[in-house]
Amino acid sequence: ISQKWNKDRHKYDYWSNKYPYCAGSFQSPIHITSDLLRFSPTLRPIEVRNYKLSSTEQLTLRNDGHSLKLSLPPTMYVAGLPNQFTAAQLHFHWGSSNWPTGSEHLVDSKQFAAELHIVHYNSDKYPDINTAIDKSDGLAVLGVLIKIGDFNPAYEQILRFINGAKYKMRVPGFNVRGLLPARLDEYYRYDGSLTTPPCFPSVLWTVFRNHVTISHQQYLALVTSLHASSVQNAEVTPLNNNFRKPQPIDSRVVLVSFKEG
């Protein structure tokens, strides 16, 4: 991926030269608008299992050049989907210090400050995430929309280590459930893709209806601490605005687990 990851906002238009799926169908993120929504009574509350990690469990936090990424242990999984999906990693997308609009998904024209993605792979069918990543039923991602507001102690379990994450560091386990909104029964569901190259259309998306908050200080730590990958490039580019713009809906609908109102 280009070392000028977020130097130039038009870079996204060139992804498909090297990664043809990025110009294909079923791409993510999308703009979730009320005309796309269809209530589905079959959508059960999301069931997260073993999300409360012991502080003796060591996780790897790193800047991979285009996001802040935390490894997750294979004991964590999501039940209640068509298959069991085992956790692999979580990562963030965000805006900049002047423009706190960095979520990938938009809801009714609203872009949030940031977005958390918890990535899982279909462990009923595939042995690991690398095998699952390009399969149509390979991945399930939980998306959490983040606003600036009250300080969030759960997010601080990651953000307090962000300066060490410029490269790679070990951080203690914590209750990952705390990163999610209180209600796991209200969400948007659609078929989509990875939002970074190679953009495989392999993701069953669950975007929670209810946002979480982090404080302004926490947001600033996220958007000012890291640098974009610059392999061929000696200049240091701050890592921000690392979100992809909404993609065409094509013929998709967005199922919702809740009735409006």
Q: What would the mean pLDDT of 6-12 be, rounded to a whole number?
A: 50
Non-local (6+) Cβ contacts of 261 within 8 A are none
- Give the model's pLDDT for residue 166: 77
CA separation for the pair 174, 153 (Å, rounded): 11
Does the active-site annotation cover 117?
no
Q: What would the mean pLDDT of 148-176 be, rounded to a whole number?
A: 94
Q: Please check whether residue 171 lies inside any domain of the structure.
A: yes
Confidence of residue 231 (pLDDT cuts 50, 70, 90): low
Q: Distance between alpha carbon 71 and the CA centroid of its chain, in Å?
A: 13
Lowest mean pLDDT across 15-19, 31-35, 56-60? 15-19
- Give the model's pLDDT for residue 221: 95
Confidence of residue 4 (pLDDT cuts 50, 70, 90): very low
Q: What is the model's pTM?
A: 0.93
Q: Please check whether residue 118 lies inside any domain of the structure.
A: yes
Q: Are strands 203-208 and 139-148 parallel, antiparallel or unpaired?
A: parallel
120: domain CATH number? 3.10.200.10
Q: Please check whether residue 121 lies inside any domain of the structure.
A: yes
Q: Which of 10, 31, 66, 216 is the catalytic position?
A: 66
Please give the share of the chain, as a percent, with pLDDT higher than 70.
92
Q: Please check whether residue 1 lies inside any domain of the structure.
A: no
CA separation for the pair 89, 76 (Å, rounded): 10
Q: Please check whether residue 44 lies inside any domain of the structure.
A: yes
- Give the model's pLDDT for residue 12: 62
Q: Please check whether residue 2 lies inside any domain of the structure.
A: no
Parent domain of 129: 9-256
Q: What would the mean pLDDT of 130-146 be, rounded to a whole number?
A: 97
Q: Please check whether residue 193 lies inside any domain of the structure.
A: yes
Non-local (6+) Cβ contacts of 211 within 8 A are 112, 144, 145, 146, 147, 181
Domain tally for the chain?
1
Q: What would the mean pLDDT of 139-149 be, rounded to a whole number?
A: 98
Q: Please check whether residue 56 lies inside any domain of the structure.
A: yes
- Give the model's pLDDT for residue 5: 41
Centre a 10 Å sphere on the Cβ of residue 261 and count the other Cβ atoms it contains. 3
Q: Which two tokens stand for residue 59?
A: 């996780």
CA separation for the pair 42, 20 (Å, rounded): 34
DSSP string, 95-127: --SS-----SSEETTEE-SEEEEEEEEETTT-S
